[in-house]
Amino acid sequence: MAVRTTDCEGFARRDFLKIGAAGVFGLSLPQILELEARANAPAGRQNRRADSVILVWLAGGPPTIDMWDLRPNAPDGIRGEFRQIPTTANGIQICEHLPRMAQAVDKCTIVRSLAHTIPSHGPATVFMTTGNKPTPAVNYPALGSLATRLLPAAAGVPPYVTFGEVRNGAAGQAGYLGTAYNPFIVEGAAANGNYRVRGITLPNGFTLDQLENRNRLMENFDRGFQAADRNADLVDGLDAFHRQALEILRSNRTRNAFNLNQETQAIRQRYGMTPIGPGALAARRLIQAGVRFVTVTLGGWDTHGQNFNALRTRLLPQLDQTLSALIEDLSGHGMLDRTMVYCAGEFGRTPRINRNTGRDHWARSMAVVLAGGGFRRGYAHGTTDVQGMPPATEPCSPDDIAATIFSNLGIDPHQELMTPSGRPIQLFREGRVIPRLLS
């Protein structure tokens, strides 16, 4: 692939030529039961406006000042080379190179006044993907891990799936929740637009009947172990994972979700053979199968040089095609009301264009796009000033967005979870739900 695979901090994105497999996820049985009880409690169900989330992660820091929040009246050296075009939402204009997204803005909320203070890739990625400012003291879990911990899981599918690791596994992980809440990572680009995912199917020559036989034999041999003294959590956890593994192997749901051949050529073309096209389509199928949180990543946004060329020729066409396809497809399937889409990167880029016709890191004002769930349709939240500097109105921070997303999922953002060392931590201590984002 001709795309840059490193960002300016020397960090190499996993090369998309490897095909591999992933982790799977589980909850212990007591936790599953506890979750179902909580999720089915009247209060929980009432407030829950969405069941799942798709995070479209733009790795490298997208220049949102050239995408969602253009400054056509800014002076030379800030304004940029692109013009705005009107969208299907009154009064909102976006970049001319996102024409298909312009048709979909009537389903979206564009938050233009997001700001934080971390212009470095790693920590900023952690902030955006966990909703908590990074600190060496605590390993915060990613939003997907939290969603898995707090939402009921569907049987036969892993609850949290990631296409392409976020920062090679340094982000998107379960943090203090423990490895049980790590994502199912789908490595490797789809070959011919198809995914082969290791671990979820029986290998050749190993039939389902054989699995049942062997499983029975195993349970018999293991019976003696139950009597021995044991650490309850550990052994129960293994039991629960064993059961979940069997469910995934026995049911077709996970396997079918990854089988893109079941979709028409037309829809596959609509999503495009971009680096995220097949992943986004698979994400929609996974959500239909009951997965709660899917991350698809598109890299190469770290445009310190030749920003406008990169955007015009590669980045924006890819994003435009796939993100608009995803939103329209979800809407067409009637899923958009219950599924949130969150398109973001770790930060924005400088209003001032540098010597190499690029933009550098800028976290002090950035834009993200949200759609579905309880989010308002056709709404732009907040403004930045003419020069694109810090938000002029309604500033908000990544933890506020996270809090809002979780409140849509019916989860109290100030709920406390316990770390293994016994420390209670609120989900998003500093985050406040932003009511104006919700319809």
Partner 1 sequence: MERLILSSRVYQFSSRTNETNKLDKNNYAHSYVRPMMAEVVVDVLNSALGTSEVFAPTPNLKAKVKINLPSMKSDIHAIELGTSLVQSPTAAYAFRIFGRPPRSSACDCERAMDPALPQKLYLMTDPILMGKFNNPTGRLQGLLKSKMSDEEILEELFLATLSRRPTAADRKFFADYRQTESDRRTVFIDTLWALINTREFILNH
Cβ atoms of 253 and 278 within 8 Å: the answer is no
Per CB under 8 A, does 123 bind partner 1? no
When the beta carbons of 228 and 266 are compared against partner 1, the nearer one is 228
In 10 A of CB 419, how many CB atoms? Answer: 16
Per CB under 8 A, does 6 bind partner 1? no
Q: How far is the CB of 165 from partner 1 (least distance, A)?
A: 11
Q: How far is the CB of 421 from partner 1 (least distance, A)?
A: 9
Backbone φ and ψ of 241, nearest 5°? -70, -35
For residue 257 the two structure tokens come to: 């979700």
Rounded CA-CA distance 51/55 in Å is 14
Of the residues 60, 119, 152, 158, which one makes contact with partner 1 according to CB under 8 A: 158
When the beta carbons of 88 and 419 are compared against partner 1, the nearer one is 419
Cβ atoms of 170 and 122 within 8 Å: the answer is yes
Alpha helices (H) along 198-313: 208-227, 232-250, 253-258, 265-271, 277-289, 307-310
# of chain residues touching partner 1 (CB under 8 A): 53
Of the residues 23, 156, 391, 413, which one makes contact with partner 1 according to CB under 8 A: 23
Of the residues 245, 273, 389, 425, which one makes contact with partner 1 according to CB under 8 A: 245
Q: How far is the CB of 229 from partner 1 (least distance, A)?
A: 5
Angle (deg, nearest 10), helices 143-150 and 398-408: 30
Place of tokens 């929040």: 69
Q: How far is the CB of 237 from partner 1 (least distance, A)?
A: 5
When the beta carbons of 15 and 81 are compared against partner 1, the nearer one is 15
When the beta carbons of 392 and 417 are compared against partner 1, the nearer one is 417
* Residues in 278-337 that interact with partner 1 by CB under 8 A: none
Q: CA distances (Å), 278 to each of 213, 408, 414, in order? A: 36, 27, 36
When the beta carbons of 45 and 214 are compared against partner 1, the nearer one is 214
Per CB under 8 A, does 238 bind partner 1? yes
Per CB under 8 A, does 214 bind partner 1? yes
Per CB under 8 A, does 229 bind partner 1? yes
Cβ atoms of 361 and 304 within 8 Å: the answer is no
Q: How far is the CB of 139 from partner 1 (least distance, A)?
A: 7
Of the residues 30, 40, 117, 206, which one makes contact with partner 1 according to CB under 8 A: 206
Of the residues 96, 106, 239, 394, which one makes contact with partner 1 according to CB under 8 A: 239
When the beta carbons of 171 and 325 are compared against partner 1, the nearer one is 171
For residue 188 the two structure tokens come to: 């490797």
SS3 readout for 11-55: CECCCCCCCCECCCCCCCHHHHHHHHHHHHCHHHHHHCCCCEEEE
Q: Which of 137, 130, 213, 207 is nearest to 174 (CA)?
A: 130
* Residues in 166-185 that interact with partner 1 by CB under 8 A: 169-170, 178-180, 182, 184
Cβ atoms of 77 and 54 within 8 Å: the answer is no
Which residues sit at the interface with partner 1, rule CB under 8 A? 18, 20-26, 139, 158, 169-170, 178-180, 182, 184, 198-204, 206, 210-211, 213-215, 217-218, 220-225, 228-231, 234-235, 237-239, 241-242, 244-245, 248-249
